[in-house]
Amino acid sequence: DVPSISVDPSHVISRINDNTYGGFTEHMGRCIYGGIYDPGNPLSDENGFRKDVIEALQELKVPVVRYPGGNFVATYHWLDGVGPKDQRPRRRELAWQGYESNEFGTDEFLRWCEVVGTEAFFALNFGTGTLDEALAWVEYCNLSSDTHYANLRRKNGREKPYNVKYWALGNEMWGPWQVGQMTKEDYAKKAYQWAKALKLMDPSIVLILCGETGHSTWDAYVLKECIRWDLHGLGGDMTASLIDMHSIHIYTASKEHVKNAIAPRSAERAIEITASLIDLARIENKVPSSVPRQGICFDEWNVWDPARAPGEEGAEEKYTLSDALAVSVWLNVFIRQSKYISMANIAQSVNVISPLMTTKTGILKQTTWWPLLLFCKYMRGSTVAVHVRCEEYDGPTEPLWIRGTVDTPWLDVSAAIDDQGVLSMAVVNVHETKSFSVDLKGIKGPVDVYTVTGSDVACVNTAEESAVGISETKWDGNGRFEFPKHSLTMLRWTP
Ligand code: AHR
């Protein structure tokens, strides 16, 4: 059987939210200090922000960046990080067992977002933090009133509110490593009460509930308890929900190439299950259709093997071509599931489990940078239906359960049509040794072809040698197209 891929440009499935290409910067390892903030370095601007990092993130058009954690946020007091720098307290940092100078805090991050041209997304301290502190943070960032914390912002040099829209109700509160770990019952109760108060402070904010993997009892429970509409008609608005999105986190990795590249397919199933749990909560709680359906905020995703790159050591992963293909499959998953994805944030944006690494003298773009760049540039607009017919991988997977729940064709495909009417199709051939000559139906030349591959699945980019990058060619659209072994190919044409 000749493998085939059929694409129908008129079969538009759903809009791809630009926030799918979000970032994440945590006070962890060299992400903030030495990553985005490096005062005194000739590569930094007058704020101490690394200009090469800013340019790289602008190239990706990163629309939103999560901050300040991650696990870090569970003991973070935002007031430590505002005001005169010489008066900011130095503290022990418990999540990653380091020290925090607080030299970089709220105003620095929000200024950095403005320079980059991105939106801020703050995570609230659900560990040692109080609701009063959280309310004060929202007031400091968003209110124009003549009140204490809004005035503190003015005193610190910022008249206009920052209008931070996205706020997360804690981070991984289910995790045994988390300071302030909770039961699902305790979390749901607290999250709902905090959400009510936070929306009373600023009804325009978007609140994100802390989920787990999307397919756990925690997810089912907290959704059921918090996605309601009948208890908070405060201010008279009965059409909104306190909770706007549900967050999930998954990292994938395997030492074996095929398992590594296929593992992100488990995230696809997790998204479908989460969407069903959201719908189930709405059905059981009789939430009317006038309340917009809560989307999924996949605010930590990536390839990460904590044994290979431990968190306490800054998690500086060295990514291989196999990892770049896994990231390509991850991104295909988000495009295919765009109907449910309101936001996704690669964890993380610089140095820590990141495609982008800084040195004192420049930046290094890892293997995973190149698929991310292609998707950020081209896979925008709306998802388009594709049908793939090819042989399947039928060996063991990590996690084990994927094989029983999703298809695993050797060619992993998604397609999008942008607002200019250009169609982009991303095809990942995860096979380590075999190329596939494919009958492409619905394609029309001339076609721009972008390929990401390398000599073998283990190759990495170093300061001395870029083993993986993007090569560009053209194709007239006639005959079969050959997708090389272990590669990502992006085809672009105007239908
Ligand atoms: O991104 C690294 C860490 O992974 C985050 O701090 C935490 O939320 C997750 O466990």
Stated length of the chain: 495
17-21, 196-200, 218-222, 231-235: segment of lowest average pLDDT: 231-235
Residue 329 confidence (pLDDT): 98
| Position 117 confidence tier, pLDDT thresholds 50, 70, 90 | very high
**Contact indicator for 16, 379 with CB cutoff of 8 Å:** yes
Per-residue pLDDT, averaged over 239-261, amounts to 94
Residue 12 confidence (pLDDT): 97
Atom index in ligand 1 nearest the CA of residue 175 equals 10
Q: Locate the domains of the chain by residue range.
A: 17-380, 386-493
Query: Which residue has a Cα nearest atom 5 of ligand 1?
Result: 70
Query: Which residue has a Cα nearest atom 3 of ligand 1?
Result: 70
Atom index in ligand 1 nearest the CA of residue 172 equals 8
DSSP track, 150-186: HHHHHHTT--S-----EEES-S-TT-TTSTT---HHH
By percentage, how much of the chain surpasses pLDDT 90?
Answer: 93
Atom index in ligand 1 nearest the CA of residue 300 equals 1
The answer on pLDDT for 232 being more than 70 is: no
Ligand 1 centroid, distance to 300 Cα (angstroms) = 7
Omega before 355 within 30 of 0, i.e. cis: no
Residue 289 confidence (pLDDT): 87
The answer on pLDDT for 336 being more than 60 is: yes
User: What residues line ligand 1, using a CB cutoff of 6 Å?
Assistant: 26, 69-71, 171-172, 300, 347-348
**Contact indicator for 206, 153 with CB cutoff of 8 Å:** no
Measuring CA to CA, how many Å separate 68 from each of 26, 59, 77? 5, 23, 11
**Looking at domain 17-380, which CATH architecture does it have?**
Alpha-Beta Barrel (3.20)
Mutate to test the pocket of ligand 1, among 26, 30, 66 (most ligand atoms within 8 A of CB): 26
Q: Is 90 helix (H, G, I), strand (E, B) or coil?
A: coil
The answer on pLDDT for 237 being more than 80 is: no
Q: What count of other Cβ atoms lies within 10 Å of the Cβ of residue 179?
A: 16
Which CATH code fits 386-493?
Answer: 2.60.40.1180
DSSP 50: B
Per-residue pLDDT, averaged over 123-131, amounts to 98
Ligand 1 centroid, distance to 194 Cα (angstroms) = 22
Query: Which residue has a Cα nearest atom 1 of ligand 1?
Result: 347
Give strand ranges (E) for 287-435. Answer: 295-303, 341-346, 356-359, 362-365, 382-389, 411-417, 423-429
Measuring CA to CA, how many Å separate 237 from each of 177, 240, 279, 374? 38, 6, 21, 41
Long-range contacts for 138-143 (Cβ within 8 Å, ≥24 apart)? 138/164, 138/167, 138/198, 138/201, 138/202, 138/205, 139/201, 139/202, 140/78, 140/82, 140/106, 141/106, 141/110, 142/202, 142/204, 142/205, 143/201, 143/202
Give the active site residues. 172, 300
Per-residue pLDDT, averaged over 429-433, amounts to 98
**Contact indicator for 22, 299 with CB cutoff of 8 Å:** yes
- Determine what percent of the chain falls in helix, strand and coil, rounding each to the nearest 5: 30, 25, 45
The predicted-structure confidence for 408-428, as pLDDT tens digits, reads as follows 999 999 999 999 999 999 999
First to last CA, the chain: 27
| Position 402 confidence tier, pLDDT thresholds 50, 70, 90 | confident
The predicted-structure confidence for 267-322, as pLDDT tens digits, reads as follows 999 999 999 999 999 999 998 888 899 999 999 999 999 999 999 999 999 999 99
**Contact indicator for 187, 210 with CB cutoff of 8 Å:** yes
The answer on pLDDT for 238 being more than 80 is: no
Task: Read off the tokens for 341.
Answer: 């994805």
Rounded-to-integer distance, Cα 361 and Cα 413, Å: 38
- Are 17-380 and 386-493 equal in CATH topology? no
Task: Read off the tokens for 312.
Answer: 């306490």
Ligand 1 centroid, distance to 21 Cα (angstroms) = 18
Atom index in ligand 1 nearest the CA of residue 26 equals 6
Q: What is the ipTM, given to two decimal places? A: 0.99
Per-residue pLDDT, averaged over 161-190, amounts to 98
Mutate to test the pocket of ligand 1, among 31, 249, 317, 346 (most ligand atoms within 8 A of CB): 249
**Contact indicator for 449, 472 with CB cutoff of 8 Å:** yes
Residue 144 confidence (pLDDT): 98
The answer on pLDDT for 235 being more than 70 is: no
Calculated CA dihedral for residues 238, 216, 397, 337, nearest 10 degrees: 0
Per-residue pLDDT, averaged over 220-238, amounts to 75
CA triple 7-9-14, angle to 5 deg? 100
Residue 233 confidence (pLDDT): 52
**Contact indicator for 364, 30 with CB cutoff of 8 Å:** no
Task: Read off the tokens for 477.
Answer: 């659209």
Query: Which residue has a Cα nearest atom 8 of ligand 1?
Result: 70
Which residues have C-beta within 8 Å of that of residue 154, sequence separation ≥ 6?
Answer: none
Of 381, 401, 370, 405, nearest to 490 by C-alpha is 370
Of 209, 303, 299, 215, nearest to 261 by C-alpha is 303
Of 105, 68, 63, 70, nearest to 84 by C-alpha is 105
Torsion sign over Cα 305, 308, 311, 317: negative
The predicted-structure confidence for 56-101, as pLDDT tens digits, reads as follows 999 999 999 999 999 999 999 999 999 999 999 999 999 999 999 9
Of 344, 333, 418, 350, nearest to 63 by C-alpha is 344
| Burial (Cβ within 10 Å: 0-12, 13-18, ≥19) of residue 433 | exposed
Per-residue pLDDT, averaged over 363-386, amounts to 98
| Position 239 confidence tier, pLDDT thresholds 50, 70, 90 | low
Partners of 358 in the beta sheet? 363
Rounded-to-integer distance, Cα 384 and Cα 104, Å: 42
Rounded-to-integer distance, Cα 156 and Cα 85, Å: 11
Which residues have C-beta within 8 Å of that of residue 272, sequence separation ≥ 6?
Answer: 337, 340
